[in-house]
Structure 1
């Protein structure tokens, strides 16, 4: 399996003038790699990608690739609810320099299961890069069912994983039970990763690994090694913090914690805004504890 363990969905730091802070982004790459992550995800939703210009997206990816310097695999977030636009975007990025693609279920359109199959089939026919599917019905509305996911995994050997963020444990178990040998089932729910590892998940693409990489990676590694005594202790150490990270949207909480750590400014782009005074106080209490 190409992708397992802890992947981190990197945030995009901004300066107070709203421009991209590339120095802070390089610090974040080092911070997460030093913390133990297994691979980096560039330009996912956590990166506030919908608010980045095309030029900024290329600059952010270039910064991550160059500073990473092949220390860890890099996955490029590349999704759209317009299939043709998604295929055309393949030519806009230096695909030869990335190790895989993370592609989200088309959002807003609410395609059928057959429509989802044909959408991802079109992507798989257009590239030989390893593809990680991303199912997150809380954001996209459409839920890609296990039968559709497994149909894709069995047809295309370079569809190598899914980031499953349905939160439906019955659906998760169906994916694990039916997955072919080359196909990894990864979590998209930071607060569920320990129970998901216990049912056979192979890792996670995490938001919280931006903020708490050492403990989070240790938790995932313990779970993979079936040391659930250690994993459970770390799970309950992190659980309140993870819940607070998402309390006012993503990456609102993450950026506050990283600001308190001295890694970046606490700046987001509209329509997202910085943490409220109430959330800031709760995060301070958690961090101090």
Structure 2
């Protein structure tokens, strides 16, 4: 199976007492799937996983596993170590672990390939490589991504290099067979889809979900005019949602829409200012797609 379409890396909503609001999380999961999302991501960066204790992480995963089982939707799970990927065994809803290139170590590209070979060998589920060099400090060239694609058990990459660069163009000009390239930089998802990306892992798709789904469908159908116009509006929305550290603005907008009980984020994140939230709400209104519903 090649992953494709829009995957939403769900936030972790908190209630007024600061606990995980599981009913709101479940409702969000159903809303984005109702709007056409292909699947969900649990415990990705957008979920603030470092601020969740192990019991909270397990409970979040339990909630989203249940939703994906009910909806027969694939689930990606942020998991970066042999212990974390092994713990995903016995959860048939998990389509893959979303696993970071080892951060801070900067082991070199050969070291990254060796790391993923070992991780894939230990994992009961396939792996999607999360390549985000402006966070990890490790660049990967297209030929290295192709070497990763040849590893048994590695089925895709979340490509979040901070821009649409020549390496992305090179990779998509000759994409590896049966290997999903999923965009992870929301602002440039439209041009990446135009080059042939299979879809995206998009925090922005908490909002105007149906619009992002339509964008993927339009590029697949070769309807460049429709895709460009929609892509411009969604890019502006994404830029507004990422005007402060993710997921602070996404949470504030979801709360303003009445979809989560609070806009609370945990330290080290801080709430965005009112002007930033108002700008994102204005951009959302300009997309023209209903929040959490098909267009």
TM-score normalized by the length of structure 2? 0.91
**Structure 1 partner of 2:270:** 273
> Where in structure 2 are the equivalents of 1:1-289 lying within 5 Å?
1-68=1-68, 69-79=70-80, 86-97=81-92, 98-156=94-152, 158-166=153-161, 167-264=163-260, 265-289=262-286
Shift of 1:2: 2.8
SS of the counterpart of 1:101? Answer: strand
What is the rounded CA distance, in whole Å, between the counterparts of 1:192 and 1:106 in structure 2?
24
Q: Distance in 2 between matches of 1:53 and 1:67?
A: 22
- Aligned-residue RMSD, C-alpha: 1.5
8 A contact 1:150–1:178 mirrored in 2: no
* Distance in 2 separating the partners of 1:198 and 1:239: 14
Q: Per the alignment, in what secondary structure is the counterpart of residue 40 of structure 1? A: strand
What 5-or-longer segments of structure 1 have no aligned partner? 80-85
Count how many residue pairs are aligned between Structure 1 and Structure 2: 282
**d(CA) in 1 for partners of 2:46, 2:114:** 26
Runs of 4+ with >6 A deviation: none
In 2: Cα distance, 1:134 partner to 1:27 partner:
27
Query: What displacement does 1:70 show?
Result: 4.1
Please say which of residues 5-14 and 63-72 is displaced more in the overlay.
Answer: 63-72
Q: Is the 8 A contact 1:58 1:93 kept in 2?
A: no
Secondary structure of residue in 2 paired with 1:58:
helix
Secondary structure in 2 matching 1:214: helix
Q: Is the 8 A contact 1:6 1:204 kept in 2?
A: yes
The CA deviation at 1:179 is 2.7
In the superposition, relative to structure 1, how do residues 94 and 22 fare at CA in structure 2: closer, same or farther (>3 Å)? farther
Scaled by the length of structure 1, the TM-score of the pair is 0.93
**Alpha-carbon distance in structure 2 between the residues aligned to 1:52 and 1:197:** 33
What does the per-residue CA deviation read over 1:74-94, in whole Å, with 9 as the maximum and x for residues that have no partner? 111112xxxxxx112233344
Structure 1 residue 271: Cα displacement: 0.6
- Alpha carbons of 1:276 and 1:95: their partners in 2 closer, same or farther (altered >3 Å)? farther
What runs of 5+ residues in structure 2 fail to find an aligned partner? 287-295
Contact (CA 8 Å) 1:41, 1:77: kept in 2 or not?
A: yes
- Give the CA deviation at 1:71: 2.7
